[in-house]
Amino acid sequence: MPRQHSCSSFTPQLVIGVAVIAAGVLFLLGNLGYDYVRTAAHYWPVVLILIGASKVMRASHGGAAVGGGIWILVGSWLLLTNLGLVSIGFWTALKVYWPVIMVAAGLSIVLRALRRGRGVRPESVDPNDDLHTTAILGATKRTSSATALSGGEVTAVMGGVQLDLRRATLAPLDGTTRREAVLDVFAMWGGIEVFVPEGWVVDGRVFPLLGGFEDKTRPVPDDGAPRLVVRGMAVMGGVEVKH
């Protein structure tokens, strides 16, 4: 459909490309004696707003939509500050209210833990089928050989976790032959490294907040292949999935 094509074309790369072209035109006009650079400089946060809008429109899960919303919020605040409509600068507010990030991160952990507690499968009697790994101010390495891995929780706070799932087998979904597991991750000032076997489909749903998520696995056709959903947050930390 034309609408879907339009949405798929509206990417952050497109926004950045158009912004670079606009900047080049402005500098060229300045060299020709038409100085619009100073006036246009007040509106540069519009680029952040458009990048956020493209992320929201293309979001396949809630985390990606929230990430796009933060881009829009930051861009809007910076734009209103440049226009004199907001008296408190963004960076000044961030210095005062940065603990809100910690509160939001903590709430995310609590909500995911409660949701996971309600969704525990009664037939999963083997503790290896539901992983729980935490590293705080230290490092942890764990290898799973679960025969019906349903998922788990991995937390790294100012530390690191290395989780090896290359010997594990995923649990079948209820009523289907599809095998899938959900791994909830949270990295804050730390890192999480997950190793998966060849042939697994990795569905990354990690929301990076001043952090990063990277899927280094080789893509495979998503037609019945085992699927590992990796979801959570990376706050000034990183989550990496690879073979």
Q: Look at the chain and count its residues.
A: 243
- The pLDDT-based confidence of 30 (bands split at 50, 70, 90) is confident
Q: Would you list the DSSP string of 184-210?
A: EEEEESSEEEEE--TT-EEEEEEEEES
Is 66 inside any structural domain?
yes
* Domains identified in the chain, total number: 2
Question: Domain range for residue 132?
Answer: 126-242
Residue 146 has pLDDT above 60, yes or no: yes
pLDDT digits 0-9 by tens, 202-215: 999 888 888 899 99
User: Last residue of some domain: 47, 81, 97?
Assistant: 97
More confident residue, 176 or 122: 176
Running DSSP on this structure, what letter comes out for residue 22? H
Provide the CB-side half-sphere exposure for 56 (13 A, CA): 13
pLDDT value of position 2: 42
Q: What's the rounded Cα separation, in Å, for the pair 55 and 64?
A: 7
Is 139 inside any structural domain?
yes
pLDDT digits 0-9 by tens, 1-27: 344 444 557 777 788 888 889 889 988
- The pLDDT-based confidence of 223 (bands split at 50, 70, 90) is confident
8 A C-beta contact, residue 20 and residue 12: no
